[in-house]
């Protein structure tokens, strides 16, 4: 498949939007860890958050992610759809010979993360770090493409979920 096939596949799987990106389009900013540490209830609990033992820091993720050349951004207003689509694109890219394809998606596999109970991850083969937790400014990145994203002012506003599959 070519890049546009992956983009179209993401849409056919239920993404609201999908966008091809090059690494130049990704806005890296290691300050994202501050938003994780001081703004996220998962900090210290979630298996995919940067607080888990052995997790790379944002500046380390940047070094790794810069090895890729392109990928697909996936947008949905449903967190689970965003993650499911990114997993499927990662799998298809892998099967197409892009064996280093790797998705980043806010975890929505389990109804309740076992990390909050001090237990091991129930799905370690599928759990991935969130697009924003690896040192990527998602707001700045997706706005380059005109994709919808806003800071939420109250709990009843529609949230936009973003995943990305890095491919090379």
Instruction: Give residue-wise pLDDT tens across range 57-87.
Output: 889 999 999 999 999 999 999 999 999 999 9
How many Cα atoms occupy the beta-carbon half-sphere of 21 within 13 Å?
27
For the stretch 153-162, pLDDT in tens is: 888 888 899 9
Total domain count, the chain: 1
DSSP classification of residue 104: E
Q: How far apart are CA 59 and CA 48, in angstroms?
A: 17
Chain centre to alpha carbon of residue 67: 17
Query: For the chain, where are the alpha helices, taking DSSP H only?
Result: 3-12, 32-39, 58-65, 79-95, 138-143
| Partners of 21 in the β-ladder | 71
pLDDT at 115: 74
Write out the residue range of the structural domain in which residue 88 sits: 3-149+158-167
């Amino acid at each position: 498949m070519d890049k546009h096939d992956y983009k179209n596949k993401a849409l056919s799987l239920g993404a609201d939007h999908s966008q091809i990106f090059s690494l130049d389009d990704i806005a890296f900013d290691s300050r994202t860890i501050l938003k994780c540490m001081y703004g996220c209830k998962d900090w210290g609990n979630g298996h995919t958050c940067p607080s888990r033992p052995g997790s790379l820091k944002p500046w380390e993720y940047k070094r790794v992610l810069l090895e890729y050349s392109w990928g697909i951004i996936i947008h949905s207003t449903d967190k689970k759809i965003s993650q499911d689509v990114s997993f499927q694109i990662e799998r298809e890219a892998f099967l197409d010979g892009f064996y280093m394809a790797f998705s980043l998606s806010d975890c929505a596999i389990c109804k309740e993360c076992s990390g909050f109970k001090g237990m091991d991850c129930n799905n370690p083969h599928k759990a991935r770090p969130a697009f924003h937790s690896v040192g990527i400014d998602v707001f700045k990145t997706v706005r380059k493409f005109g994709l919808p994203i806003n800071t939420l002012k109250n709990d009843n506003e529609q949230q936009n979920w973003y995943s990305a599959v890095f491919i090379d």
